[in-house]
Chain A
Amino acid sequence: DIQMTQSPSTLSASVGDRVTITCRASQSISSWVAWYQQKPGKAPKLLIYKASSLESGVPSRFSGSGSGTEFTLTISSLQPDDFATYYCQQYNSFSGYTFGQGTKLEIK
């Protein structure tokens, strides 16, 4: 099974900061990675798919990059609404999908 190792687990930042979250896959998965945002008590929301494609309606301050085994989610200028937990997900094969452990983005 493919494992996704996400880091950091917690990130403290201020409004206006640029932040980066990383996911490493245990084997090459091309660009088959999605990123989700989850706020307390809410369902996850799709942000990025195929490593770098921005989902419709998602602000352009969110961006994704990477291929193979290393992937990043970047928020270029943090807004108050962005403080949430973020998850990566690999979808390399129908046989199984995996989420990263999550990164909680907190206000510094």
Chain B
Amino acid sequence: QVQVVESGGGVVQPGGSLRLSCAASGFTFSDYGMHWVRQAPGKGLEWVSFIRYDGSYKSYGDSVKGRFTISRDDSKNTLSLHMNSLRAEDTALYYCAKDRDDIGFLDYWGQGTLVTVSS
């Protein structure tokens, strides 16, 4: 069955960096676009980033543009999110999610990895 499992979260100081990973299984990873979505404690969902199935296009939410970089390694069925210049407002549960056919809606989600930015 389709599974996506996030890892790499933790506590980081403001201005620091962190790399999140998402291990995918149960589907042909290289055929699908992938997303990162985050949720601050007690708040709603915020879309963070998207990468097309072939890596040819990447997009970012305004709040992370220029600081976060999405990438994929199809040989390892892994999605990554490199986060730089972290701020307190980046504190959130980060979800990895599979796109349905590069269309833009998310049909499978992981359970999330928690990032806390605090001194």
Contacts and interface: CB of A to CB of B under 8 A. Distances in A.
Interface residues of A, number: 26
A56 B78 CA distance: 26
B47 A97 contact: yes
Nearest to B103: A91
B45 A1 contact: no
A43 B45 contact: no
Nearest to B44: A102
B106 A102 contact: no
B46 to A, nearest CB: 7
Interface residues of B, number: 23
B59 A94 contact: yes
A23 interface: no
Q: Chain A: interface secondary structure? A: strand
Interface string B13-51: 000000000000000000000010100000011110010
A46 B59 contact: no
Nearest to A87: B45
A99 B46 contact: yes
Interface of B: 35, 37, 44-47, 50, 52, 57, 59, 61-62, 95, 100, 103-107, 109-112
- Which 3 residue pairs spanning A and B have beta carbons closest together? A91-B104, A34-B105, A43-B109
Given A44-B106, A94-B50, 19 more contacts: A1-B62, A34-B105, A36-B106, A43-B95, A43-B112, A44-B45, A46-B105, A46-B106, A46-B107, A49-B100, A55-B107, A87-B44, A89-B47, A89-B105, A91-B103, A93-B104, A96-B59, A99-B44, A99-B46
